[in-house]
């Protein structure tokens, strides 16, 4: 088989790096984005003929356009898109400034949306393609102290779910990946915190902030390489899932959310049904 061409955003560390390495090991070709030129040069030196590193910020329209121009000129097609670039944010809703919230949405929502929109013309012309949106278990169940991040991932899931219905007749697949806590830099260099702290939220958002920022790097349950292998396997599947939770913690969180929703439906069904003509 001819090598598939993958575009993976944010491959300097964590799941993005693990996935890029896994894809190349399986014989496919990776076009990956970095935020630092030194990272681009190091990647291209190490993986010549197997991958191509490019300098790009997913929130920068011109830089994203350049990526797709290079892919079109060099390879003539794109098989798999992985929107992996993202940032975390911890803080109570009242603690977060609008500027901080907008910064999170710029990357997690509008950055992913922009890259997705630019990939779609190629996928439509080809009549095939697979989009992986690297979301989070936090796009299902929100937590005190994580609300802004939750909101960004809820938004990512929302437009991706709608897009899945729009592109299915065109031969394009969609999978929303929902990782739980993984042994990556998410709680380190990829985590932003609300500048403002309000003492009344110490028991809720404050407790979550403390827990997240003090997490021991090698104690999260998620294994990035195992997650990468699963994504690789799903990319070869004829009928991939729309949602792909990864990890026992996120599975438990989803079950709690579903049970909570079902309880509200059962307890308030008659009231809800009465709001009609």
Task: Give a yes or no: residue 275 inside a domain.
Answer: no
d(CA 131, CA 118): 12
The CA distance from 111 to 59, in Å, is 5
230 in a structural domain: yes
Q: What is the predicted pLDDT for the residue at 218? A: 56
Task: Specify whether the CB–CB gap between 143 and 184 falls below 8 A.
Answer: no
If phi over 0 gives left and psi between -120 and 50 gives alpha, with beta otherwise, what is residue 45?
A: alpha
210 vs 264, higher pLDDT: 264
What residues are annotated to the active site? 135, 149, 153
Q: Does 277 fall in a domain?
A: no
pLDDT band at 42 (very low <50, low <70, confident <90, very high): very high
HSE of 210, CA atoms in CB hemisphere, 13 A: 8
For residue 75, pLDDT beyond 70: yes
CATH code, domain carrying 217: 3.40.50.720
Give one word for 171, left, alpha or beta, with left for phi > 0 and alpha for psi -120 to 50. Answer: left
Residue-by-residue DSSP string for 94-160: TTS-HHHHHHHHIIIIIIHHHHHHHHHHHHHHHT-EEEEEE--GGGTS--TT-HHHHHHHHHHHHHH
Q: How far is CA 57 from CA 11, 36, 85, 92, 111, in A?
A: 12, 10, 9, 27, 8
Q: Kindly give, in sequence order, each residue whose CB lies less than 8 Å from that of residue 88, ignoring residues fewer than 6 positions away.
A: 149, 186, 187, 190, 191, 192
pLDDT at site 184: 54
- Provide the number of structural domains found in the chain: 1
Read off the pLDDT band of 260 (50, 70, 90): very high
What's the domain range around 236?
A: 5-270
Residue 264 pLDDT greater than 80, yes or no: yes
**Is 206 a member of any domain?**
yes
Residue 34 lies in a domain: yes
Residue 276 lies in a domain: no
Q: Is residue 197 part of a domain?
A: yes
224 part of a folded domain: yes
Taking residues 156-179, report their average pLDDT. 97
Q: How confident is the model at residue 175 (pLDDT cuts 50, 70, 90)?
A: very high
Number of helices and strands (H, E) in the chain?
Answer: 9, 9
* Higher-confidence position of 208 and 194: 194
Q: Is the pLDDT of residue 96 over 80?
A: yes
Q: Quick one: angle between helices 147-167 and 112-126, nearest 10? A: 10
| Position 143 confidence tier, pLDDT thresholds 50, 70, 90 | confident
Q: CB of 249 within 8 A of CB of 181?
A: yes
């Amino acid at each position: 088989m001819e090598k598939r061409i993958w575009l993976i955003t944010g491959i300097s560390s964590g799941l993005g790096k693990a996935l890029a390495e896994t894809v190349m090991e399986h014989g496919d070709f990776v076009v990956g984005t970095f935020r630092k030129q030194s990272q681009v040069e190091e990647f291209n030196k190490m993986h010549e003929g197997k991958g191509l590193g490019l300098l790009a910020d997913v929130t920068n329209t011109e830089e994203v356009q350049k990526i797709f121009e290079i892919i079109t000129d060099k390879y003539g097609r794109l098989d798999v898109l992985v929107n992996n670039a993202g940032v975390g944010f911890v803080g109570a809703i009242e603690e977060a400034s609008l500027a901080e919230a907008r910064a999170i949405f710029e990357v997690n929502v509008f950055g992913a949306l922009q890259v997705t929109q630019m990939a779609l013309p190629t996928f439509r012309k080809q009549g095939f393609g697979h989009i992986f949106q690297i979301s989070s278990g936090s796009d299902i169940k929100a937590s005190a102290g994580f609300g802004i991040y939750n909101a960004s991932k809820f938004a990512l899931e929302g437009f991706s779910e709608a897009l899945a219905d729009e592109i299915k007749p065109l031969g394009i697949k969609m999978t929303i990946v929902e990782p739980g806590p993984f042994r990556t830099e998410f709680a380190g260099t990829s985590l932003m915190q609300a500048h403002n702290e309000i003492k009344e939220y110490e028991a809720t958002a404050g407790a979550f902030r403390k827990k997240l920022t003090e997490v021991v790097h090698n104690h999260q349950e998620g294994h990035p390489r195992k997650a990468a292998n699963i994504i690789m396997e799903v990319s070869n599947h004829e009928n991939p899932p729309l949602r792909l939770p990864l990890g026992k913690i996120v599975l438990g969180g989803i079950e709690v959310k579903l049970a909570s929703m079902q309880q509200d439906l059962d307890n308030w069904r008659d009231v809800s049904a009465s709001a009609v003509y």
